[in-house]
């Protein structure tokens, strides 16, 4: 009897394994989600225009702040007139700005002569600035003669650098 029960149990067990489970119908695939359309991002606001003072613009004519002279000459040369005129226009448009004109010479000549020549050079630039619209109260002049050389060698290339009027704001 024991064998019979085991046999029945085995038959039922095998029958259970061989049977197939009912197949559930597959769910219909979900439709793909509609693409999300985003509104275009607003254009970035243009950068604010910051006015650059032409005195600080290295590409401006005002970046040149020295006027050069041949030996023993105090008249502004043709090559430097546009520079002086640009500074005159700037001063006329900016009445709150002031300038100091520093006349310089090379080492040749006496101290007294060079101080006088440096003064004539600074005053020549001052006259051009005044004619260009600058006001007299915006301009100071000083002569350093040979006391403030840019170059200290004793040759023409250096002396050429030292014969100048510097425009200092």
Question: 69 forms bridges with which residues in the sheet?
Answer: none
Question: 140 forms bridges with which residues in the sheet?
Answer: 100
CB 132 within 8 A of CB 99: no
CB 116 within 8 A of CB 143: yes
Express each pLDDT in 123-160 by its tens digit. 999 999 999 999 999 999 999 999 999 999 999 999 99
Q: Which two tokens stand for residue 118?
A: 């440096």
d(Cα 60, Cα 17) in Å, to the nearest integer? Answer: 95
Give 3-state DSSP helix, strand, coil % of the chain, rounded to 5: 40, 10, 45
pTM of the model: 0.69
Sign of CA dihedral 63, 105, 161, 131: positive
Give every CB contact of residue 146 below 8 A, 6+ residues apart in sequence: 104, 105, 106, 107, 109, 111, 114, 162
pLDDT averaged over every residue in the chain: 85
Residue 35 predicted with pLDDT over 80: no
- Place 96 in a pLDDT band, splitting at 50, 70 and 90: very high
Q: Is 34 exposed, middle or buried (0-12, 13-18, 19+ CB in 10 A)?
A: exposed
d(Cα 52, Cα 36) in Å, to the nearest integer? Answer: 45
The CA-based angle 61-65-71, given to 5 degrees, is 115
pLDDT at residue 11 in the model:
52
């Amino acid at each position: 009897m024991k064998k019979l029960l085991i046999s029945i149990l085995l038959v039922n067990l095998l029958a259970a394994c061989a049977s197939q489970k009912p197949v559930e119908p597959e769910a219909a695939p979900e439709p793909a989600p509609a693409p999300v359309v985003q509104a275009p991002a607003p254009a970035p606001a243009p950068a604010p225009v910051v006015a650059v003072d032409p005195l600080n613009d290295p590409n401006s004519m005002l970046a040149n702040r020295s006027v050069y002279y041949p030996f023993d000459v105090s008249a502004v040369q043709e090559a430097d007139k546009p520079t002086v005129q640009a500074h005159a226009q700037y001063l006329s448009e900016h009445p709150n700005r002031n300038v100091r004109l520093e006349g310089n010479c090379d080492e040749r000549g006496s101290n007294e002569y060079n101080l006088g020549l440096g003064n004539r050079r600074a005053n020549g630039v001052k006259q051009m600035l005044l004619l260009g619209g600058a006001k007299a109260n915006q301009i100071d002049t000083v002569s350093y003669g040979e006391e403030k050389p840019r170059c200290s060698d004793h040759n023409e290339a250096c002396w050429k650098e030292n014969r100048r009027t510097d425009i200092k704001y």
